[in-house]
Structure 1
């Protein structure tokens, strides 16, 4: 007698409209430029990273450049409480890994919100 399989549940569809938020931002030097990696999470627990190499060696300008890049994506809704840190390779002591750069966090937040407001204005 053939054994019957239990009916499979349909896989949950991928939501194309999933909104993302910036959780952490990591900086690292790449020669004379700064690479910025933004760690994004969505409302469903998904995780992805966006990486951009800023055309400058100034960390403040690099963070602003990355914020404009990420906010311009269209499906990143927020960057509140995003933590900005230097990547592990850039730290010299274990204590350096724990230090957040609050000035850079403010720069990122301001540039992100400004760009997001511009994007929303264009969509109206």
Structure 2
């Protein structure tokens, strides 16, 4: 008598980024991954939806990593704003519990600048 392996229940795909909903970047988390930096951008929409976009930047430099991620997120479409987005290191990267609470204001500025520059480039191409 053979026994079939039980299959895990299918998970619903996250809500796509589409024209019916505008998204904004709420938080950005950085984590070192060898010679690269993983950047996870947490997005929220007008209807209270939440979505995470992850990208691995081909650099160890946090400044370049957040700029890379900002260009990636802005290029997705229907992400209208990154104003007030908080940038933090992921919990496992923090040296102390206090580090979990510390925002990196310089990296927040870098992320917002790159995000706005990319949105402007996209708007210019659409004209």
TM-score of Structure 1 vs Structure 2, range by shorter chain? 0.7 to 0.9
- Equivalences, count: 111
When normalised by structure 1's length, the TM-score is 0.87
**Is the contact between residue 74 and residue 119 of structure 1 (CA under 8 Å) also seen in structure 2?**
no
CA separation in 1, counterparts of 2:20 and 2:126? 16
Unpaired segments ≥5 residues, structure 1 = 1-13
Out of 36, 47, 55, the position equivalent to 1:52 is 55
Moved segments of 4+, more than 6 Å: none
1:64 corresponds in structure 2 to 67
Secondary structure in 2 matching 1:51:
strand
1:92 corresponds in structure 2 to 95
Let me know the Cα RMSD of the aligned residues: 1.3
CA separation in 2, counterparts of 1:58 and 1:47? 28
The reply to whether residue 19 of structure 1 matches residue 22 of structure 2 is yes
When normalised by structure 2's length, the TM-score is 0.85
Unpaired segments ≥5 residues, structure 2 = 1-15
Out of 77, 87, 106, the position equivalent to 2:109 is 106
